[in-house]
Chains A and B, each alone.
Chain A
């Protein structure tokens, strides 16, 4: 399976995101605060976060639960709005957009991968992948072609007609990755993508991420497992709603190499 993934990942299929003319960051977060009103008490989830992510970066966000990393991820994913501060995505100030514009941004500029895969049950892999193209009003012939292309990219060209219940966890997550890629997003946001997977499958998923990153895709990954975070190029640690550490990963391992040293487990 690993070799299959490698073979399918050729750079010309992956669309490089269009970079803003001035070559500025894909993501620019300035002094972002987020607080929730829970009746009488106010919960401060984020207390002033500044961050810049350049095109082609692979960032792992870490932190214990309650550190604010999930809230930050929701803001990056345009599912939530900051209470104060600025979030500039590819030169657009996202905090000023209305719901409909945000939906379009989620649809076209962002790709989501979740811990629980979040595929639609009783819907085939191909139809799951097609879903974002439906909301993007893509032409019908383009929809299927593009969906097949990305499914082949993640190595599931032979599983297109399968339902999620007929796929293993790793395969389901790969369908989810294909779905995230189908509209050629600028960033891939992954929230604990390996949380429900065994260690070997986790590394396989990380291999896909590394390959995608190699072809130019910007990736932001949330995880609490340090050995998953090491596959990224940069780790950011959250604590109490603030960034505590922001370090580049020196000589991060290649997932493909790690896989070779791991005992093989038959996936299917």
Chain B
């Protein structure tokens, strides 16, 4: 019997019991829909994290002053004063895989412009910082190395600060106060959005490192050094080389703890990627369980159908249907059920995803591969759970089947 004839018979048999077929399909619809929505959710989250990390740069190394053990008391991160400007210079000169490096130390403070004020983070750094972070200017210019040397009172505003102090007005050339000191606004950065950790990266201002150290905090050590490696692959080598260089410079004996930490953003990216993958897998497998439940529903209904249609099966065998004809007929019924359910489930899943995106604002990515997998998987469910009932039908004794009332 040809494929189209089989399909037509299957569809007709299913439309005979519309309500029953629909309810049976519902299990698959919900299962596939749930898988599509959760995988979409997971992939959306994964993509967002990756985008954020990529915006920070995956070839970045982040050196922080570390914790230190003082008479048995372990002070937290940032407690040491050993990370200094010369460390940064040494890294640039001696580590071949390090391309650029910039210091960064921070303090928080109140910025005042005319009658507006805004409390924010003040970061002291050098001009190349913005190159390393791949951050361009919306208005004005960067401060210069000369400004750093002179410890000039110049400031670069983050987009959020600009918004809060000046709104849409041009702020370059204007003066703001940090503490009691006047600062000339030279540039405004473009908005960068949230960091991978959910922090608003635009809520901050940037001043030359020397200005921060001498005029605001009075500290001469660095909290962080940001280094860009020559490539993402080189970042691991750079991490090792920087670690050994800094241990050497800080005279840390073998076996002693580092008084700094070097974090590789490629590592962070991988970690974040991994955790969202695990999450996706977990959600999808929970949703997958409902697919199996749907499959059992199909098997149940197909078994009922085989019993109901015993006589029909007997007639078909008597007039020349082979075992494989009967097997294929019932198998195609269950596959039509599950496949239709699968397609409806995909639509349902996409609709659910769009609703979630609109209502909750989560980003969802409907991957074509997830849709393809859903189709294949629902078909597999139909074949797997339809096989036993179909085989039962094919193995019927025609004499008994014809006698069946």
- Chain B binds chain A: yes
* Mask: chain B, 387-405; 1 = CB below 8 Å from A; 0 = not: 0000000000011001000
Return the chain A residue nearest B314 by Cβ. A118
Q: How far is the CB of B398 from chain A (nearest CB, A)?
A: 5
Q: How far is the CB of A196 from chain B (nearest CB, A)?
A: 14
Also in contact, A118 and B402, with CB within 8 A (given A134-B1, A135-B1, A135-B325)? yes
A residues less than 8 Å from B319 (CB atoms): 106-107, 112, 131-132, 135, 179
User: Are A103 and B1 in contact, with the CB atoms below 8 A?
Assistant: no
- Answer yes or no: A79 CB below 8 A from chain B CBs: yes
- Answer yes or no: B322 CB below 8 A from chain A CBs: yes
Also in contact, A106 and B318, with CB within 8 A (given A74-B399, A79-B398, A134-B5)? yes
The winner among A103, A107, A118 for most chain B CB atoms within 10 A is: A103
CA A79 – CA B324 in complex, angstroms? 16
Interface residues in B293-329 by Cβ distance below 8 A to A read 311-312, 314-325
Interface residues in A237-263 by Cβ distance below 8 A to B read none
A residues less than 8 Å from B402 (CB atoms): 114, 118
Q: How far is the CB of B261 from chain A (nearest CB, A)?
A: 74
Candidates A79, A100, A132; contact of B322 at CB < 8 Å: A100
A residues less than 8 Å from B311 (CB atoms): 118
The winner among A108, A122, A131 for most chain B CB atoms within 10 A is: A131
CA A175 – CA B257 in complex, angstroms? 94
The winner among B312, B316, B319 for most chain A CB atoms within 10 A is: B319
Interface residues in A81-129 by Cβ distance below 8 A to B read 99-100, 103-104, 106-108, 112, 114, 118-120, 122
Also in contact, A104 and B16, with CB within 8 A (given A80-B399, A118-B311, A118-B315)? no
Also in contact, A77 and B318, with CB within 8 A (given A100-B323, A122-B16, A135-B325)? yes
- Answer yes or no: B2 CB below 8 A from chain A CBs: yes
- Answer yes or no: A137 CB below 8 A from chain B CBs: yes
Also in contact, A107 and B320, with CB within 8 A (given A74-B399, A79-B399)? yes
CA A74 – CA B16 in complex, angstroms? 32
CA A175 – CA B5 in complex, angstroms? 21
- Answer yes or no: A136 CB below 8 A from chain B CBs: yes
A residues less than 8 Å from B312 (CB atoms): 120
CA A74 – CA B403 in complex, angstroms? 12
Interface residues of A (CB under 8 A from B): 74, 77, 79-80, 99-100, 103-104, 106-108, 112, 114, 118-120, 122, 131-132, 134-137, 179, 183
Interface residues of B (CB under 8 A from A): 1-2, 5, 16, 311-312, 314-325, 398-399, 402
Taking A77-B318, A103-B322, A107-B321 as known contacts, 15 extra A-B pairs with beta carbons closer than 8 A to each other, sorted by chain A number, are: A74-B399, A99-B322, A104-B320, A106-B319, A107-B320, A108-B320, A112-B319, A118-B311, A118-B314, A122-B16, A131-B319, A132-B320, A134-B1, A135-B1, A135-B320
